[in-house]
Structure 1
Amino acid sequence: MTVTLTLCETCGYDAAQPEAERPGARFVREVERQLKADDELRIQRTRCLMACQRHCAGLLRAPGKITYVLGDFQAEPEAATALLDYARQYQLSETGQVPFRNWPSGIKGKFIARIPVLED
């Protein structure tokens, strides 16, 4: 089953440097760089997830699974690795729930919301 990871590319606006590249754009680029060709993971960019206070945010979802909103990532390789590792475990889970003991350390404390499965 394909999992979609929607990442905000406009996160981290700095009024002092409005033309500077945003951390969200750097984070998306790093996640895309680390994505493996055989991953059943689709990266989708968006302009805003309205998680500005917890920027470098993403939305992880798949049909029939719980959806998660995550944020507070740094635009660095270790954060991208943690998010992709979690996304791969999410993909393997029937419900989208990943046991806490299996969470990469870089994912702990990053959850903003857990959205129940949309029932028909």
Structure 2
Amino acid sequence: MRRIVFCTTCRHSVEEREGPDGLTGGESLARHMESLVAEKQRDDVIIARQTCLWSCLRHCNVLLQDTERYSYLAGGFRPERAEAEAILAWFDLHGESAGGEVPFKTWPQAMRGHFIARLPPVKP
């Protein structure tokens, strides 16, 4: 199973918890992703929400989760559509890989500098 989990309690910015629309940064980023996935008619991308991913030093955290490959925690995103596009592009590259290791040279520029942790798949 593969899914993108958005932290709904993440701040909109360093200065503000919520944006002008009253949404947290994490919720705004999740909504941008939902819009993007709907426009592309992608039914293969599961979008989930989680309150607090415990990485509060970097707002707008996202867990790129996979039960068969490495999963990744990334943060420090802006709650904008361009960030959602980069996350989805990287997630697609991740899905094409055998073990979840995406060569750095193929990463979208907007994904560089955002990764916090790599987590091994849970094996029975």
Q: Identify whether the pair has TM-score above 0.5, normalized to the shorter chain.
A: yes
SS at match of 1:37: coil
Matches within 5 A, 1:1-120: 2-12=1-11, 20-35=22-37, 36-120=40-124
**C-alpha deviation, 1:47, in angstroms:** 1.2
Residue type matched to 2:4 in 1?
A: L
**C-alpha deviation, 1:39, in angstroms:** 4.8
Give the whole-Å Cα distance in 2 for the aligned partners of 1:29 and 1:76. Answer: 9
Give the whole-Å Cα distance in 1 for the aligned partners of 2:92 and 2:24. Answer: 26
User: Residues 53 and 86 of structure 1: is their aligned pair in 2 closer, same or farther, counting only changes over 3 Å?
Assistant: same
Give the whole-Å Cα distance in 1 for the aligned partners of 2:73 and 2:55. Answer: 9
User: Residues 109 and 17 of structure 1: is their aligned pair in 2 closer, same or farther, counting only changes over 3 Å?
Assistant: closer
Give the whole-Å Cα distance in 1 for the aligned partners of 2:12 and 2:106. Answer: 33
Note the residue ranges of structure 2 that are not aligned, 5 or more in a row: none
Q: Alpha carbon RMSD of aligned pairs, Å?
A: 2.0
| CA displacement, residues 12-50 of structure 1 (integer Å, 9 cap, x when unaligned) | 178x87774211111111111111323521101111101
SS at match of 1:53: coil
Identity over the aligned pairs, expressed in percent? 33
TM-score w.r.t. length of structure 2: 0.85
- State how many pairs are aligned: 118
Note the residue ranges of structure 1 that are not aligned, 5 or more in a row: none
